Amino acid sequence: MCVHGTFAGADLLGLLTETSRFAPKTSNRVRTLAKRLFDLVAGETGNYTQKFCHRLSEGLSARLDTPLHAERLNWSGQNNHVARADGAIQLLAYLAQFAEQLDGNPPHTTRPPRVLLWGHSHGGNVFALAGQLLCANDEARRVFFEAAQSFYAAAHGRCDQPHWRLVEAQLRDRRHPVHSLPIDMVTFGTPIRYAWQIPSQTRLLHIVHHRPAEAARPSYLAPNPLHWWRSLWNADGDYVHQWGVAGTNLPPLPLAWRTFTAERRLQRLLEAELQSEFAWARWRRGQRVHEGGVSLLVDYRDPSCGPLFGLAGHAVYTRSRWLPWHCEQIVEHLYEESPA
């Protein structure tokens, strides 16, 4: 499954999310049309297209009797905690449904099927939140859903985002097959935001566009300071990976007071252990390597990523020309020496 990052969704202002509370069918129709329009305009510039997923399916299924399917998860794409949390809940709802299908109709294979998730930009942080919820104990999970409650349930108790209540019940049931579903995660240019707590059977790989800094700075750190004019030519790798760290959220529309309230509460919860400082202080650290999983720092040197289509070094990951190489790296780092 391919999961896009921030600003690549169909609901950047949250208007369709608010509309879905009283007109879900209309909201879904508009969301689908908006995503098609975005795909038409952006193409593969920081965006997973249907054509990309089709090529991925064909490539992975080339020598297999049973074809593999690649799908997309289209979350809102807003740059805040509540949007990424909603994306994580949508992802868990899909995984739970898939796990139920496997449990009811197990495949006749010697190896258990695995789900591979590709996440660009903050799509990877959607994975991080989903992993935390899968690993959380009952109390930690209760605190999370309580913090977000104003988003998915009105004051009188009516739930207008039913996938939240469904996933909450599925996660509470330790016998649900989603808890034993083997999931692998690959992130591309995901800013370092949340802690990685993943199930024991999950494999995690991070791929980051990076060019080593000056000799006085360790080669695994981004340059300091970051110069915006160098970002036009992707001179130091992926700048958005650096700019998207904690402290750079965009709040929901204040008129959407339920979403705004949930955002504030989730911020207090998810950033409880975060040191209080300005975003520029975090940028200066130049951190490229995530604390969980394997981080692969890559100097792409892609000539197609110029000032217009490079997105400051952040667009290279979603281009089909790099798809075969990405597949090779995933096999090498996640599956080559695995007995499963």
Q: Tell me: the pLDDT tens digits for 21-43? A: 999 999 999 999 999 999 999 99
Query: How confident is the model at residue 340, as a pLDDT?
Result: 46
Give yes or no for a contact between 258 and 151, defined as CB atoms under 8 angstroms apart: yes
Query: How confident is the model at residue 64, as a pLDDT?
Result: 72
Name which of 48-57, 74-83, 104-113, 212-221 the model is least confident about: 104-113
Does the N-terminal peptide bond of residue 225 adopt cis geometry, omega within 30 degrees of 0? yes
Whether pLDDT at 103 is above 90: no
DSSP strand pairing (115-120 vs 72-73): unpaired
* CA-based radius of gyration for the chain: 20
Enumerate the domain spans of the chain.
Answer: 2-103+111-335
Q: Label residue 339 by pLDDT band (50, 70, 90).
A: very low
**Burial of 294 (C-beta count, 10 Å sphere; 0-12/13-18/19+):** middle
Q: Tell me: the pLDDT tens digits for 256-298? A: 999 999 999 999 999 988 877 877 788 888 899 999 999 999 9
CA angle 53, 121, 7 (to 5 degrees): 85
Q: Tell me: the pLDDT tens digits for 123-162? A: 999 999 999 999 999 999 999 999 999 999 987 778 999 9
